[in-house]
Amino acid sequence: MTEELSHQQILRYSRHLLIPEVGLEGQRKLKSSSVLIVGTGGLGSPVALYLAAAGVGRIGLVDYDVVDSSNLQRQVIHGTSTIGKLKVESARDKLLDLNPDIQVDVFNEPFTSENALRIARDFDLILDGTDNFPTRYLTNDVAVFLGKPNVYASIYRFDGQVSVFYAKEGPCYRCLFPEPPPPGLVPSCAEGGVLGVLPGTIGTLQATEALKLLLGIGEPLIGKLLLYNALDMSFDFVKLKKNPNCRVCGPNADIKELIDYEEFCGVPSHDHEDDSAVSSHDISAKELSERVNASTSLSAKLLLLDVREPHELKISALPNAVNIPLGQLAGRLTELKSADDMVVFCKAGTRSTRALELLASAGFKKVKNLKGGINAWAKDVDTDLPIY
């Protein structure tokens, strides 16, 4: 049963009411609808803002991060005044300021196999605002098991993708990607960057698909993948078919319950570049500084290997470091000596960890990883360097 609108709400949504495809009945549908948004970052920001403005009656927000200044270039639901605040609380306050008539439920916890079904069960549809493969596969499987549409999107640098994965009417995410890519093959936005406006473009497309589904109008992107490139302002579409051998939504599906998605994907389900766990191969910025200061001939005793991209050196750099980008490292191992003591580093520790693994597999045994990367050096050793 749909809810009635007050006189104040009729005025608020008057531009919707003038559209025949929406009208009073459609606005009532939106008021009685609910949407779960997994992630309140780049994609979740515009999605949440526009669904709240449109009058979706109940919005759920799942996140467990806090607002950081590096978020504000693209995560427009947050602000300078909310730096250090829980993202779900920052987002909730913004949404209720935009539209106090809606209900905002916050889940300040990781979206995991243990809680995902409980969190998602009572919502009409799920919007995937995640940036990692474990949570992406988890969100898909939850949507399939609960019989709900999954409004999917992903972004990287200048490119974005949008689709609606709805196993009842078309393919699911696993139909398109049965297996995740090898760990480290696809860089995250934290590693490769993203044009600040891109998640706004893609997120509003997600919000559009959500509204179409809730209203039952138009032709949702079920069975289609929208591809967007900001540099040439192009929109392309790829037709998708249901995979009869899909392990989750196919007729002979063998995955009947949620699994360990971090193990399945071989990567953690978060985008924090520097994990709190300490490896025996790690060296802290302060420890490295002591080693550097103990020798007047650093280059002869210790090799600093910077595996960042060349344009990142213009932001910050360490003296005497050798730059070999991670993507080129396997083909340039002959430039390095396995007998040398070596410390490998990147921006914050993710790429250098993969570089260390590659070097170790090639027989390099005297290698350490600068924990936290050059950002840790800028924080703990040389505060004249910027953190990015």
85 close to 66: Cβ distance less than 8 angstroms: yes
b/e burial code for range 276-296 (CB count within 10 A of at least 16 → b): eeeeeebbbbeebeebbeeee
**Which position has the token pair 């025996």?**
280
CA distance 45 to 196: 12
* Residue 41: CB atoms within 10 Å: 23
Residues near 56 by Cβ (< 8 Å), separated by ≥ 6?
30, 31, 33, 34, 35, 102, 210, 211, 214
Q: Which 3 state secondary structure label does DSSP give 125?
A: strand
Q: Which of 189, 246, 249, 265 is catalytic?
A: 189
From residue 184, give the alpha-carbon distance in Å to each of 115, 146, 192, 327: 27, 31, 12, 10
Burial group, residue 357, by CB count within 10 angstroms (0-12, 13-18, 19+) = middle
**Among this protein's residues, is 246 annotated catalytic?**
no
CA distance 377 to 266: 28
Q: Which of 246, 249, 265, 346 is catalytic?
A: 346
Residues near 221 by Cβ (< 8 Å), separated by ≥ 6?
162, 163, 164, 209
b/e burial code for range 54-63 (CB count within 10 A of at least 16 → b): bbbbbbbbbb
> In angstroms, how far is CA 244 from the centroid of its own chain?
29
CA distance 141 to 117: 10
**Among this protein's residues, is 249 annotated catalytic?**
no
Question: In this structure, what token pair is assigned to residue 244?
Answer: 């009869």
298 close to 292: Cβ distance less than 8 angstroms: yes
List the catalytic residues. 189, 346
